[in-house]
Amino acid sequence: MMKTSLDPVIHADARLRIMTVLNAIGEGDSVTFPKLRSILDITAGNLSVHLRKLEDAGYITQEKTIQGRTTATYLGITPRGRTAFLEYRGTLLALLDE
């Protein structure tokens, strides 16, 4: 049976956009924080808040590394996040098809 409610963690506009981008780049791949910020055209503070909610839900990973003298943050989707995103997408499509 198809779920009839949309995942509230993903449903917020910015988080849906984040999950869409991370799902598109694929499991095991990642994108840097500045690149994701540029793609979404969102402020760093706003992006950070939404990333924290997705990370707390286990939907994304944030890996911080040091490159030269600066830190770099790489973001990726987890298997749990991919499953949640695909379920969200399926539920949304089913609701739209009704």
- pLDDT tens readout for residues 57-84: 999 999 999 978 889 999 999 999 999 9
Name every residue whose Cβ is closer than 8 Å to that of residue 64 and which is 6 or more positions away in sequence. 71, 72, 73, 74
Q: Could you tell me the pLDDT band of residue 27, with boundaries at 50, 70 and 90?
A: confident
DSSP 60: E
Question: What digits encode the pLDDT tens for the residues 32-66?
Answer: 999 999 999 999 999 999 999 999 999 999 999 99
- In which element (H, E) is residue 40 found? helix 33-40
Domain ranges of the chain: 8-91
Does the pTM exceed 0.95?
no
Does the pLDDT at position 2 exceed 60? no
Distance (Å, whole) CA 4 – CA 64: 36
Q: Does the domain made of 8-91 have the CATH classification 1.10.10.10?
A: yes
Q: Provide CB contacts within 8 A for 45, sequence distance 6+.
A: none
